[in-house]
Amino acid sequence: MKKYKKILALFISGIISATSISGISARAIFGTEISAPEGYTLFDDQGALSWNAWNGEEYRAYLVYQKISEMETSLYMTSYFRYNYTELVVPIEAYDTYAAIYAEYETELDFEFCRESQTTQDTMTVTLFDEKTEDGAYSVDPADYPSKENTLIALCDQLQEVGAIESATYSPVFTISSPGFYIQEMHICNVPDGNEDALQTMAAAYDDDAIVTYTEDAKSGEMYYRVTQLEDFTDYVALVAAVTEAYPEATFENMDEKYQYSFEDLACFTTYGEIDLLTAEPEPDPPVATGTTSLSTGDVDGDGEITIQDAYQALVAYASESAGLELELTEDQRAAADVDGDGEITIADAYKILIYYATGAVGKTPSWD
């Protein structure tokens, strides 16, 4: 068992080193990565800021980053994720031709959103993207979305041949984020009157200086509990969890036009891995392994992508065998992990899978050679 753990630890450290050098991570797909803003680190808010991800009907998935200084805690919340984000600029005089050709690809592309707007006197901009997965859920993980890049390239090739497209760009991921800061305050709604002492005790458990008052909203007349002087945002998150457990009906809303998380006026728009669809070449499909396996070479988990997870599973299989433990892979998975085809799963196989993934992630064409 000790040998198993040692091998696994060494390889994981190698993965961390490789991803740091190449600027990729386990979240990277399509050769791109959802990364933290400079100076910020990813922070698990445990749903404390979910109120800001409400779209009127349901909560969107989101990520929160924080940056702590002596003066304040800066926050950066990404709550809009658009996948396969595409913009097509179409000459208005050729719009009917465009529409007829696009109809041939519409079912295969199956975009969740298609927005058209006349941007100049002579052109129409068509914006296409997905927000939800095929299961109808929001996600912050690009791996939950199939790439539509190759189909879009084929569409644009055909449009270009007949002069029905002026420009076309594609980004696997497009995000909208809100930078802001924590103002050391919490507003608790839907907790009945008479709980001020109980809430004060709960708040003081996280910050001795915290003060709880029962306050009336000046506009609506609604009563709520206002918690001030809660200095640490981590304590804010912990208190939200504690209050929710004690009062399941509690909500944490913005009252009196004050904000628990104060946003700047301008949102930040970020595109990842943008390409020109009029000049791009289709991405090659991973080569299929020889033998009876139904999985592609290197695709150990069978998700259709070559990722760090595949390299990790190959290494776990090798380490398990080296330590005399039972191998957990199926025969198909074993064949996919045996990249060099020598009949054994070794560190060399795991390393080759990692290099294949890393090569594609930095925009180069990967190869098993």
Question: Is 68 contained in some domain?
Answer: no
The pLDDT assigned to 351 comes to 84
Q: What angle do CA 212, 217, 218 make, to 5 degrees?
A: 130
The pLDDT assigned to 333 comes to 86
Question: Structural domain tally of the chain?
Answer: 3
- On whether both 149 and 230 belong to a single domain, the answer is no
- On whether both 118 and 160 belong to a single domain, the answer is yes
pLDDT band at 220 (very low <50, low <70, confident <90, very high): confident
Residue of higher predicted confidence among 156 and 9? 156
In angstroms, the CA 276 to CA 244 distance is 48
- On whether both 188 and 168 belong to a single domain, the answer is no
The pLDDT assigned to 17 comes to 39
pLDDT higher than 90, residue 243: yes
Question: Is 264 contained in some domain?
Answer: no
> Are residues 49 and 64 in contact, defined by beta-carbon separation less than 8 angstroms?
yes
Distance (Å) of CA 293 to CA 321, 332, 335, 336, 344 = 21, 5, 6, 7, 15
- On whether both 95 and 147 belong to a single domain, the answer is yes
Coarse DSSP helix, strand, coil percentages of the chain, rounded to the nearest 5 percent: 30, 25, 40
- Other C-beta atoms closer than 10 Å to the C-beta of 84 total 24
- On whether both 164 and 203 belong to a single domain, the answer is no
Least confident of 20-24, 138-142, 166-170: 20-24
Residue of higher predicted confidence among 88 and 354? 88
- On whether both 165 and 192 belong to a single domain, the answer is no
In angstroms, the CA 209 to CA 197 distance is 14
Question: Is 303 contained in some domain?
Answer: yes
The pLDDT assigned to 264 comes to 52
The pLDDT assigned to 163 comes to 97
pLDDT higher than 70, residue 106: yes
Distance (Å) of CA 110 to CA 76, 135, 149, 261 = 32, 14, 13, 36
> Are residues 164 and 57 in contact, defined by beta-carbon separation less than 8 angstroms?
no
The pLDDT assigned to 32 comes to 55
In angstroms, the CA 158 to CA 271 distance is 25
Mean of pLDDT over the chain: 82
Residue of higher predicted confidence among 291 and 157? 157
- On whether both 93 and 162 belong to a single domain, the answer is yes
Expressed as residue numbers, the domain containing 154 is 83-130+143-172
In angstroms, the CA 139 to CA 128 distance is 18
Write out the two tokens for 323.
């330590």
pLDDT band at 285 (very low <50, low <70, confident <90, very high): low
The pLDDT assigned to 158 comes to 97
Question: Is 234 contained in some domain?
Answer: yes
Residue of higher predicted confidence among 22 and 193? 193
